[in-house]
Amino acid sequence: MKKSLLLLGASGNIGTQALDLLSLEKSPYDLIGVSVGKNVKRLRELLSMWKGIRYAYAEDCREIDSLKCEFPNVSFFSGETGLGDIVAQSGADYVLNALVGFAGLLPSLVSAKLGKTLLLANKESLVVGGKLVIDGIRSAGGRLVPIDSEHVAFAKCLNALNGRKAKRFIITASGGPFYGKSPMELSKATPEDALRHPTWNMGKKITIDSATMVNKGFELIEAAWLFDVDPSLIEVRVDRHSRVHSAIELEDGKFLADVGPSDMHGPIGFALDGGTGSEGVVECSDLSLIEGADFEPFDAASSEGVILPLEAFARGGTAPASLNAANEIAVSLFLSGKIPFLSIYKALRLSLGYPLLKKGTALSYDDLREADLESRELTSKAFAQ
């Protein structure tokens, strides 16, 4: 019997690649629901192609009214709470969350609290609400399987330990399109420049986050929640060719590394297979000996894209929510040509001064949502023309 799956973010980069795998004859999943944000045209295409879809979400309810007559057997959802509602009402056992930004947190929380298996590509769920998500999963007996290539690499390496002990986590980065550039050069960077990622084909938001290195800061926080490791103790190394997706150093001095092409079909397939196996993992005495890898030094302590998210994580409370919201607004302003590239870092620094619910406070989704909205408003005002 096939397993029921809900795909959130079906029209995005990860969602599109997930559909490639779900369409394979050997797929053990029945796709019963999708979300597409504002892309109602794509939703119509998916409903026509995938006859098993019975639940669908689009951001604006006015845009989907015409679909209700065309597809009377589909239950439609929209609005701010719709992403949580579709998770709860679809009854899907597996939720693949490929949404971008804070919007992915609510469905992750609902999935966790309902004991579902959450296949997670939405890094903001853990950056903003990691404790809530992890506590919900533990309480309800659900599962969390990562999709980000770096965290899939860690999971594969841990699967390959065979009784040995891990000494250190090493997360890799491509360095993005601006690796080694001076502040003067960065001050002149255009959105087109920033979107020219050297190795990965990704959506615009994550590509800009890669250019600022904020993406790597977020991934360190993700690793903290996924693998119970202090993010400040994870070494960042730059592999300009993106051959090594991440690695673990063993106590005997050897390394386990996940090696493969810069293509997300592999990590998504790992998650769809339940997070088992270690295909692509190699063992070596020195990471620099891996064929095709091109390591260069990286000073994480001088990278604001890394240290500012980690500072928010260390402060706790609503600080990560405020920083994430400021980043989302700043990236959007940069992409629309309203602020220069370096102002993204300014937005992150400003967010660390926004009102904070203390670390010891038992936060709720509403607390995080309030901090998110306030940070968006303050950040927008700070850069108002």
> What is the pLDDT confidence band of residue 124, given thresholds at 50, 70 and 90?
very high
> What is the pLDDT confidence band of residue 358, given thresholds at 50, 70 and 90?
low
Percent of the chain residues topping a pLDDT of 90:
85
| Range of weakest confidence among 7-11, 172-176, 220-224, 330-334 | 172-176
- In the chain the domains, ranked by start, together with CATH numbers, are 3-146 (3.40.50.720), 150-182+199-300 (no CATH), 316-382 (1.10.1740.10)
Q: Collapsing DSSP states into helix, strand and coil, what is residue 211?
A: helix
Torsion of CA 187, 191, 195, 197, to 10 degrees: -10
What is the average per-residue pLDDT within 63-91? 93
In tens, the pLDDT along 186-215 reads 999 999 999 999 888 888 999 999 999 999
Question: Residue for token digits 């709470």?
Answer: 81
In tens, the pLDDT along 245-280 reads 999 999 999 999 999 999 999 999 999 999 999 999
What is the largest distance, in Å, between two alpha-carbon atoms of the chain?
64
Half-sphere exposure of 244 (CA within 13 A, CB side): 32
pLDDT for 78: 94
* Mean pLDDT for all residues in the chain: 94
In tens, the pLDDT along 295-348 reads 888 887 789 999 999 999 999 999 999 999 999 999 999 999 999 999 999 999
pLDDT for 376: 98
pLDDT for 60: 80
Q: Contact at 8 Å (CB) between 81 and 58?
A: no
pLDDT for 362: 79
Q: Collapsing DSSP states into helix, strand and coil, what is residue 161?
A: coil
pLDDT for 3: 96
In tens, the pLDDT along 134-181 reads 999 999 999 999 999 999 999 999 999 999 999 999 999 998 899 888
What is the average per-residue pLDDT within 3-13? 97
Helix axes 319-335 and 124-140, enclosed angle (nearest 10): 140
pLDDT for 249: 97
Closest CA to 340 of 176, 174, 226, 184: 184
pLDDT for 385: 64
pLDDT for 65: 83
Query: pTM score, two decimals?
Result: 0.95
pLDDT for 200: 82
Distance CA 46, CA 26 (A): 20
Query: For residues 365-374, b (16+ Cβ closer than 10 Å) or e, as one string?
Result: eebbbebbeb
Bridge-based pairing state of the strands 244-250 and 255-259: antiparallel
Higher-scoring residue by pLDDT: 76, 232: 76
Q: Contact at 8 Å (CB) between 97 and 9?
A: yes
